[in-house]
Copies of this chain bind each other. A is one copy, B any other.
Amino acid sequence: MERILIGNLQEKKGETVLVQGWISVRRDQGKMVFFDIRDRSGTVQGVVLPNSGAIETAKEIRSEYVVSVEGKVNERPEKNRNAKVQNGDIELEITGLTILAKAEIPFELGGELNLDTYLDHLPFTLRAEKQKAIFKVQAEIIKAYRAFLGGQGFIEFQSPKLIGDDAEGSGEVFEVKYLYDKIAHLATSPQLYKQIMVGVFERVFTTGNVYRAEKHSTTRHVSEYTSMDAEFGFIKDHTDIMALETEMLRAVCGHLTALCKTEFELMRADIPTIPERIPAIKLREAQELIFKETKKDIRKEPDLEPEDERWMCEWSKREHNSDFIFITHYPVSKRPFYAYEDENDLGYTKSFDLLFRGIEITTGGQRRHNYENLVAGAKGKGLNPDNFSFYLQAFKSGMPPHGGWGIGLERLTAKMLGLSNVKEATLFPRDINRIDTLLSTDQKE
């Protein structure tokens, strides 16, 4: 007999079928045995009657056993139906039962766990409904993101992560022992490569891991995360980029509304609505606003602190009914050498951060496209342009006005779903204490 997915059982009422999956719960009732079986498409209740040939095997079965069952799809009596759950009106009367694999689990799934217990047991704890919802939503975010950009003429490329010198000197870069004892590094972003690729395809994006050697443990940082980067040419200025990101977010949220309603309900989270225009405010204006309203004076700072980002998001929600807000015009001193200085607001760049529900999820902006101007930018930061000679070839070869964004996938997922720690939205998070298992104590902070 051919296996049928549990999600398709409704079409098989009265028929005998073959189902394969995991046992979620076993309940003994007198001489009968009930259990829930789940596969990738859903869950159904199975019942083994006392006179069934499967009853002895049924009594052996425990949670997470993998089974192959033959059974008849029966409609449940009216009084036993449960409209709230999938397949709540049917059950599988099991006539044949084979154990494909046994299991011995550390605890039952579904309870509240502290973060370390959850992470220590990921190969098991990821099987909980909540975790599956999170990473299903994450997969759909990327899918919608790619579909949107593809429709806008963007081509995806594979950006290298192994780089030579840490030319930008970010100080948060991991060293790799390369071949013949040469030192390489892990890229903190695909920035230089995506700019090069604008010269090739004009509109490009790349999604892949980036690496930050963050020496502190926070709810916002992991050592390895997924950056959704895009970059495109022939822009007027940074507002073109902000407009396209707004449109992209609208497309992603539309996709999630269509496909992930169950997951958002399970997580008790709301899919954000994207306003026609996401509010945008210069950093200095935001600082003035915070000073005026809270008396906190950060007007001389080059950036917002986490607390300020939260305040600005609350303000945006209150005043503009928007979960998002763009902060623009960060000072030249705070942005990388390739950031474009605003001709009409010297000392400030045509750059932006996008804040969402209290946290920065995007950094973006227009870039310097003129070779001499770019070299001057590097020198202005005390960097040696010779270290960028490979990258600079793109600019020697003619580059249009361009810019783009980098979006942290895990942060976006976390905020979409109301998770307080980005590690909950990172499948296998790496931080100062952990690469899968806890690192030995002598090197913890």
Q: A126–B196 contact, CB under 8 A? A: yes
Question: In the complex, which of the residues B124, B143, B397, B432 contacts A180, with contact meaning CB atoms closer than 8 Å?
Answer: B432
Interchain nearest-CB distance for A163 vs B (Å): 7
Interchain nearest-CB distance for A326 vs B (Å): 24
Q: A101–B163 contact, CB under 8 A? A: no
A126 cross-chain contacts in B, Cβ below 8 A: 196-197, 199-200
A254 in the interface, Cβ–Cβ < 8 Å?
A: no
A131 in the interface, Cβ–Cβ < 8 Å?
A: yes
A223 cross-chain contacts in B, Cβ below 8 A: 162, 178-179
Q: Mark A397-435, 1 if CB is under 8 A from B, else 0.
A: 111110000000100000000000000000110101001
Q: With the chains together, A283 CA to B20 CA distance in Å? A: 32
Q: Mark A163-204, 1 if CB is under 8 A from B, else 0.
A: 110000000001111111110101000000100110111110
Interface of A is mostly: mixed
Q: B180–A177 contact, CB under 8 A? A: no
Interchain nearest-CB distance for A346 vs B (Å): 21
Interchain nearest-CB distance for A257 vs B (Å): 18
Closest Cβ neighbor of A410 among chain B residues:
B158
A104 in the interface, Cβ–Cβ < 8 Å?
A: yes
Q: With the chains together, A155 CA to B23 CA distance in Å? A: 21
A66 in the interface, Cβ–Cβ < 8 Å?
A: yes
Closest Cβ neighbor of A203 among chain B residues:
B40
Q: B186–A176 contact, CB under 8 A? A: yes
A160 cross-chain contacts in B, Cβ below 8 A: 209, 224, 427-428, 430, 435
A161 in the interface, Cβ–Cβ < 8 Å?
A: yes
A118 cross-chain contacts in B, Cβ below 8 A: none
Q: Interface size bucket, A side?
A: 35 or more
Q: Mark A122-160, 1 if CB is under 8 A from B, else 0.
A: 111011000110011011001100100010010111111
Interchain nearest-CB distance for A426 vs B (Å): 8
A22 in the interface, Cβ–Cβ < 8 Å?
A: yes
Q: With the chains together, A427 CA to B396 CA distance in Å? A: 20
Interchain nearest-CB distance for A61 vs B (Å): 11
Q: With the chains together, A209 CA to B443 CA distance in Å? A: 28
A41 in the interface, Cβ–Cβ < 8 Å?
A: yes
Q: A143–B131 contact, CB under 8 A? A: no
Question: In the complex, which of the residues B202, B208, B399 contacts A101, with contact meaning CB atoms closer than 8 Å?
Answer: B399
A163 cross-chain contacts in B, Cβ below 8 A: 435-436
Listed stretches A269-277, A286-294, A332-340, A385-393; interface member: A385-393
Interchain nearest-CB distance for A252 vs B (Å): 15
Q: Take A158-B409, A180-B445, A396-B104 as given contacts and tell me if A390 and B123 are in contact as well, using a CB distance cutoff of 8 Å.
A: yes
Interchain nearest-CB distance for A265 vs B (Å): 19
Q: B178–A397 contact, CB under 8 A? A: no
Q: Take A200-B132, A398-B65 as given contacts and tell me if A177 and B174 are in contact as well, using a CB distance cutoff of 8 Å.
A: yes
Q: With the chains together, A16 CA to B306 CA distance in Å? A: 50
A243 in the interface, Cβ–Cβ < 8 Å?
A: no
Question: In the complex, which of the residues B124, B155, B158, B445 contacts A393, with contact meaning CB atoms closer than 8 Å?
Answer: B124
Q: A427–B20 contact, CB under 8 A? A: no
Q: A123–B199 contact, CB under 8 A? A: yes
A244 in the interface, Cβ–Cβ < 8 Å?
A: no
A72 in the interface, Cβ–Cβ < 8 Å?
A: no
Q: B155–A135 contact, CB under 8 A? A: yes
Closest Cβ neighbor of A121 among chain B residues:
B393
Closest Cβ neighbor of A153 among chain B residues:
B40
Q: B390–A436 contact, CB under 8 A? A: yes
Closest Cβ neighbor of A5 among chain B residues:
B153
A102 in the interface, Cβ–Cβ < 8 Å?
A: yes
Q: Take A101-B400, A131-B200 as given contacts and tell me if A393 and B123 are in contact as well, using a CB distance cutoff of 8 Å.
A: yes
Pick 30 A–B contacts, CB within 8 A, sort by A.
A20-B400, A22-B398, A64-B397, A64-B398, A100-B400, A101-B369, A101-B371, A104-B397, A121-B393, A123-B196, A136-B201, A139-B156, A142-B156, A143-B150, A143-B156, A157-B427, A158-B209, A158-B409, A160-B435, A162-B223, A163-B435, A175-B176, A176-B177, A178-B223, A179-B215, A179-B223, A179-B432, A182-B443, A193-B428, A390-B436
Task: Name the 4 nearest CB pairs between A and B, nearest first.
Answer: A103-B398, A123-B394, A40-B202, A64-B398
